[in-house]
Chain A
Amino acid sequence: MPFKLLWRNVTGHPIRSLLTIASVAVAVFLICMLHAVTSGLTRTLSAAASNRLLVQSAVSLFVDLPLSYQQKMAPVPGVEAICKWQWFGGRYEQDKGGFFAQFGIDPETFLPSYPEMSIVDGDYDEFRKRRTACVVGADLADKYGWKVGDTVPITGTIFTRTDGQPWQFDVAAVYRSSSASIDQQTMWFHFDYLHESLETGGAIGPQGVGVYMLRIAPGTDPIGVQQAVDALFENGPQRVQTTTEAEFNRQFVSMLGDVPSLLQMVGGAVLFAIFFAVLNTMIMAGRERTRDLGVLKALGFTDRTTALLLIAESLLVCGLGAALGLLLGVVLEGPFAAATASFIPGFGFDRGTLLLGAGLALAVGLISGLVPGLRAARLTTVAALREVG
């Protein structure tokens, strides 16, 4: 019966209640998405391996390093393997609006340096042997329906073929990743295929290496290797900056600005806006029901009970909004994660995200209910009954 009264009070103004519930739902959904993005970024950063260093130009990530640097870095004590990385920036012919990353890498050192990656279809040896072969992420293969043996046409935007045709890559293997630092939507191909095409005039584009990945031997002090590599090129021709993978990822994210702080500010603003909306609704509901509250008090309901009725009503509205918002979030989590996998491989709703959304909504409900609730508790029965209904 008390719940029935609550429910009837909520449904007594269906449009107002629905609008309030919908605004709480949208706010909870947004806050959860923002939290999932920030925690996804954090997960990606914290999943970085400690035995991998990245060497980039000290000027900018967009300035390539000379190919000759590989030979100079190889003898540095502690460097176990080197893998070149070159951003390709191509577009898939069949989905020009879509985006996924492609990198030219060294097949011999790439997979052994990334134990978190495992080949789930095809053969990595086949990839190593064929210069036009590529390895693709399982999510990417699922998205476009690629299978091992398919040829994927990619049009270069940085590296264009002189014959005007797209690049052709043969899918040799499909990988999955067990770490948030590597997404499952990337295409990896032979750096040498790209380089030779540039050398022979088959393609045009900048010659060089975007980033060198150094795998360091177990027990090696990464700071020592960093300093040694940086010192090697201190006098040019191109100064380098060597960082840990975590720091590299952090810098990559910070190129977009202080994303986590920005997202938290947006989340806070959304929360504030919704708090005022719910508070407004509850104050209106409390005022409209002044006479009813007087009747309840006359019947013997205590000040506390009448206050609790309004607080519970506010919690009910916010609880329904939270449930709807979380449901929306859970339904849209998959598509959003797929769309952002290249940028935020760690994106996903965890228990913390769901608890945060529900907790904030209930906190808003509690505080919004307290204002009319306290008024109801303080209201004398005689004054409430005098109110014109």
Chain B
Amino acid sequence: MAVAIQLHSVTKTYHRAGETLRVLDELDLAMDASTFYALMGPSGSGKTTLLNLVGGLDHADSGKLMVGADDLAALDGSALAQWRAENVGFVFQGFNLLPVLSARENVELPLLLAPLSRAQRRAQAERALELVGLADRMDHKPRELSGGQEQRVAIARAIATDPQILLADEPTGDLDRSTADQVLELLQRLNRELGKTILMVTHDPQAATYADKVIHLDKGKLGRIDDNRTASGAGARS
């Protein structure tokens, strides 16, 4: 299986209130393409920082981070923005939909950066919304949708440009169990049917069971990687 994301000795530090925090500490990690990863660990272990680095939202202080064939350290400013638009889809805990736009218009947002006509944009946004089961909610504003529906719109927005990688930061953190399961099933389906590589930060062990592999971080270093597909017992969901 091809390697989608590769980290060699990646370090990231933050300076807060005169204190230096080493959030990622010479991390080495390789993630396969078309695999659903859950990223777990205690608070401050570097999960969200790792997600931000892989998504090109932030730069590592040192080390090498390759996503596909792209060395993210070599990209800066608008080049990195363009790379994000073409390669990554984000799903956030708080959904982060633009409240003034309808579901369809929110999904169309990333497509504005693609060379598409208005009609093509609209059609592609509608296809993404149909895929997440919201064909009948396209013209609703975020405030007119339930939390689960909002997150599904956010997922539709993340896949609208057909990126290879989906990054999800606690996507079910604001949802009840039943709705969370529906969202996780949707992510699993996107991985299995469309071959998306998914990296999902979660604190929820039950959510992690939807992933193929679970990466455990501890104090900025790799703890272990569990493979749910080979695990026995109740750990994995298929």
Encode contact with A along B186-212: 1 for CB under 8 Å, 0 otherwise: 000000000000000000000000000
**For the complex, what is the distance from the CA of A380 to the CA of B58, rounded to whole Å?**
8
Q: Which residues of B contact A12 (CB under 8 A)?
A: 99-100
Q: Which residues of A contact B86 (CB under 8 A)?
A: 300
Q: How many residues of B contact A (CB 8 A)?
A: 29
Encode contact with B along A354-383: 1 for CB under 8 Å, 0 otherwise: 000000000000000000000000001110
Whether the pair B112, A1 counts as a contact (CB closer than 8 A) is yes
* Interface class of chain B by DSSP: helix
Q: Which residues of B contact A299 (CB under 8 A)?
A: 84-85, 90, 109-110, 113, 157
Residues 60 to 118 of chain B near chain A (Cβ within 8 Å):
77-78, 81-86, 90, 92, 94, 96, 98-101, 105, 108-110, 112-113, 118
Q: Which residues of A contact B121 (CB under 8 A)?
A: 1
Q: Which residues of A contact B21 (CB under 8 A)?
A: none
Whether the pair B113, A8 counts as a contact (CB closer than 8 A) is no
Q: How many residues of A contact B (CB 8 A)?
A: 26
Whether the pair A298, B100 counts as a contact (CB closer than 8 A) is no
With contact pairs A12-B99, A296-B109 given, residues A302 and B90 touching in the complex (Cβ less than 8 Å): no
Whether the pair B57, A382 counts as a contact (CB closer than 8 A) is yes
Whether the pair B81, A301 counts as a contact (CB closer than 8 A) is yes
Looking at the complex, which one of B77, B105, B110, B157 makes contact with A4 (CB distance below 8 Å)? B105
Whether the pair B98, A292 counts as a contact (CB closer than 8 A) is yes
B55: interface (CB < 8 Å): yes
A18: interface (CB < 8 Å): no
A170: interface (CB < 8 Å): no
Whether the pair B55, A5 counts as a contact (CB closer than 8 A) is no
* Interface class of chain A by DSSP: helix
Q: Which among A291, A298, A300 has the highest number of chain B CB atoms within 10 Å?
A: A300
**For the complex, what is the distance from the CA of A303 to the CA of B82, rounded to whole Å?**
11
Residues 1 to 45 of chain A near chain B (Cβ within 8 Å):
1-2, 4-5, 8-9, 11-12
Q: Which residues of A contact B57 (CB under 8 A)?
A: 297-298, 380-382, 385
Nearest chain B CB to A299's CB is how many angstroms away? Answer: 4
Nearest chain A CB to B109's CB is how many angstroms away? Answer: 6
Whether the pair B109, A303 counts as a contact (CB closer than 8 A) is no
With contact pairs A1-B112, A381-B57 given, residues A300 and B99 touching in the complex (Cβ less than 8 Å): no
Q: Which residues of A contact B82 (CB under 8 A)?
A: 300, 302
**For the complex, what is the distance from the CA of A296 to the CA of B77, rounded to whole Å?**
14
Whether the pair B52, A382 counts as a contact (CB closer than 8 A) is yes
**For the complex, what is the distance from the CA of A9 to the CA of B100, rounded to whole Å?**
6
Looking at the complex, which one of B78, B84, B101, B118 makes contact with A298 (CB distance below 8 Å)? B84
**What residue of chain B has the Cβ atom nearest to residue A13's Cβ?**
B100
Residues 116 to 144 of chain B near chain A (Cβ within 8 Å):
118, 121
Whether the pair B101, A389 counts as a contact (CB closer than 8 A) is no
**For the complex, what is the distance from the CA of A5 to the CA of B58, rounded to whole Å?**
27
Nearest chain A CB to B154's CB is how many angstroms away? Answer: 9
